[in-house]
């Protein structure tokens, strides 16, 4: 692995390691080592370097929200009175557990968020009680996801 101008150049071995872990982060290091053809210690060393470079930012379990009763995914464009309200709005959005992502955007909205709710009634409650009551929010535009068709990470 080489770091050039804050861009990371990874070799074929790094790619094999990353692909294995992106497929299943619980893959044993020794299993990866056998498939790649290097020692487990070398895999650990490469992973430490990849983490230190910032390319890897951890691993996590992915929950199926439908099993927990969360069936309504929505995207909400938030219009703010003033751009100066952005940091305070984001601070307030962080307090709402249903908000999964928050992005500053170009175009019509100041902020664009992704939220997950149990149903449409729950969504309406979060919109009316939590989001639209934030100081500086002038209005919102909501898009309900009918079904997610693609979910992936960037290919390496």
Instruction: Identify the CATH number of the domain in which residue 110 sits.
Output: 3.30.70.920
Q: Looking at residue 37, what is its pLDDT?
A: 96
Quick one: 7 and 31 in the same domain? yes
Is residue 9 included in any domain, yes or no? yes
Q: Which residue has the higher pLDDT, 96 or 154?
A: 96
Contacts 24+ apart (CB under 8 A), 93-96: 93/131, 93/134, 96/126, 96/130, 96/131
Quick one: 45 and 69 in the same domain? no
Does residue 117 contact residue 144 with C-beta atoms inside 8 Å?
no
d(CA 156, CA 27): 18
Answer whether residue 66 shows pLDDT above 80: yes
Place of tokens 């500053």: 104
The full length of the chain comes to 156
Calculate the average pLDDT of the chain: 93
Quick one: 79 and 28 in the same domain? no
Quick one: 45 and 83 in the same domain? no
Range of the domain at 83: 65-145
Quick one: 83 and 135 in the same domain? yes
What band does 1 get if pLDDT is binned at 50, 70 and 90? low
Quick one: 25 and 83 in the same domain? no
**Cβ partners under 8 Å of residue 129, min gap 6:** none
CATH number at residue 19: 1.10.10.10
- Kindly write down the DSSP assignment for every residue of 46-105, as one continuous string: HHHHHHHHTS---------GGGGT--EEEEEEEEES-GGGHHHHHHHHTT-TTEEEEEE-
Q: Looking at residue 8, what is its pLDDT?
A: 79
Q: Looking at residue 111, what is its pLDDT?
A: 96
Is residue 28 included in any domain, yes or no? yes
What band does 3 get if pLDDT is binned at 50, 70 and 90? low
Quick one: 42 and 85 in the same domain? no
d(CA 13, CA 23): 16
Is residue 154 included in any domain, yes or no? no
Is residue 13 included in any domain, yes or no? yes
Q: Looking at residue 79, what is its pLDDT?
A: 96
Least confident of 33-37, 42-46, 81-85: 81-85
Number of domains observed in the structure of the chain: 2
pLDDT tens digit sequence for 13-38 = 999 999 999 999 999 999 999 999 99
Residue 14: name the closest of 53, 51, 43 by CA. 43
The arithmetic mean of pLDDT across residues 95-105, rounded, is 97
Answer whether residue 41 shows pLDDT above 80: yes
């Amino acid at each position: 692995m080489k770091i050039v101008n804050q861009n990371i150049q990874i070799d074929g071995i790094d790619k094999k390691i990353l692909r294995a872990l992106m497929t299943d982060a619980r893959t044993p290091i020794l299993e990866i080592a056998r498939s790649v053809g290097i020692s487990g210690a070398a895999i650990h060393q490469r992973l430490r370097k990849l983490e230190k470079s910032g390319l890897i930012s951890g691993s996590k379990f992915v929950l199926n929200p439908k099993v927990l009763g969360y069936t309504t995914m929505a995207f909400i464009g938030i219009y703010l009175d003033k751009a100066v309200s952005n940091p305070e709005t984001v601070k307030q959005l962080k307090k709402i557990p249903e908000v999964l992502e928050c992005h500053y955007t170009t175009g019509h909205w100041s902020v664009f968020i992704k939220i997950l709710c149990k149903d449409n009634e729950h969504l309406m409650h979060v919109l009316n009680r939590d989001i639209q009551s934030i100081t500086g929010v002038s209005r919102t535009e909501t898009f309900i996801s009918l079904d997610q068709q693609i979910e992936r990470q960037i290919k390496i």
